[in-house]
Every structure is written in structure tokens, then in C-alpha cells.
Amino acid sequence: MRVVLIIALVFAIISCKESTKEENLFVFEKKEKAKSTLKKELVDQGYEIFDYVDEKTKDTVLMQQYFIAFLKEGPDRSQDQAVADSLQVLHMAHLGKMYDMGYADISGPFGDDGNIKGITIYNTPTLEMADSLANADPMVKSGRLIIEMHPWWAAKGFSLR
């Protein structure tokens, strides 16, 4: 009786492993199709992308070009406190709008009192588009901030940790 139970258990484990292999293959094929669809969509929209193969894991990572706007101290910081506060409210609304529209992925101030006040990472297909959106910020228009824009590559879909 014990032998029959052991044999049945072995067959159950083997059949589970087989279905797991099939399921894993299905999931892999589905991910590859989704990745190729994403790549095509990004290229069609004008984004710069490339595949990076991690030497250690052999995983292929989709890299996309983003644009970092360094928000630097501008030439006109003579506004009184009420105007500066009003500009800050408009600045935050602009950044919120960029995020809601999918053009900005992350923004934030620096924690020191240096010349660079903060950054915004733009998710746009071109430098010109990112620069235009960054320069539409009310703080920039007022001269309180200026923009220094740089292309930046990051893994598509990865989050901060």
C-alpha cells in the first residue's frame, strides 16, 4: 500500500512539474510578446530605446532615453514673499499636470541650499519636447528658475528603491 502511495505521489509531482514548465513557457512567451509590442509602440512614438543584457543575470533589460531637467537658480529672484509663494503654487500645479499627462515621471527639490534647486525627469520622445514643457513652468517663465536639460538612460518600468 505504501509503495502505491509513493508511486502516486511521484507521478503527481512529475505532472505538476510538467504543467509548471508549460505554464512558465506560456508566461515567457506572453511577456516576450508584450515586450515586443511595447518596443514597437515606443519606437513608433519616437522614443530612443535599446536592449541591455545584464552580464551577471543574462536578463535583457529594455532601456529608454528620458530627459532630466535640472531646475537651477534663475537670474530674477527679487520677487516678494507673496509673489514667490504664488509662483510656488503654480510651479507645483505645473509639475502635477506634467505627471498627470504622463510627461514627468518624478520631480523633487534638493535638500541643500545649492544653485541646483531640484530635478524633473521627463518621459518624452525628444529633448525639444522635454525642454519646451520644462520652460512652460511658471517659475521658469518668471526667471526665478532656469532649466538645464540632459538626456538620461534608464531601464523602462523600473522603480526607485
| CA gap 145, 60 in Å, rounded | 39
Q: Could you tell me the CA-to-CA distances from 142 to 13, 22, 58, 69, 88 in Å, in that order?
A: 69, 60, 49, 17, 11
Q: How many CB atoms lie within 10 A of CB 94?
A: 21
Q: Render each residue's pLDDT in the chain as its tens digit; 161 residues.
A: 555 555 555 555 555 555 455 555 555 555 666 888 999 999 999 999 999 998 999 989 999 999 999 999 999 999 999 999 999 999 999 999 999 999 999 999 999 999 999 999 999 999 999 999 999 999 999 999 999 999 999 999 888 77
Q: What is the mean pLDDT of the chain?
A: 86
The domain 65-155: what is its CATH number? 3.30.70.1060
Give residue limits of the domains in the chain. Answer: 2-44, 65-155
Could you give the CA distance from residue 130 to residue 149 in angstroms, rounded to a whole number? 8
SS3 24: helix
Please tell me the distance from the alpha carbon of residue 154 to that of residue 136, in angstroms, as a whole number.
25
42/110 Cα distance (integer angstroms): 31
pLDDT for 110? 96
Other C-beta atoms closer than 10 Å to the C-beta of 145 total 26
pTM tops 0.85: no
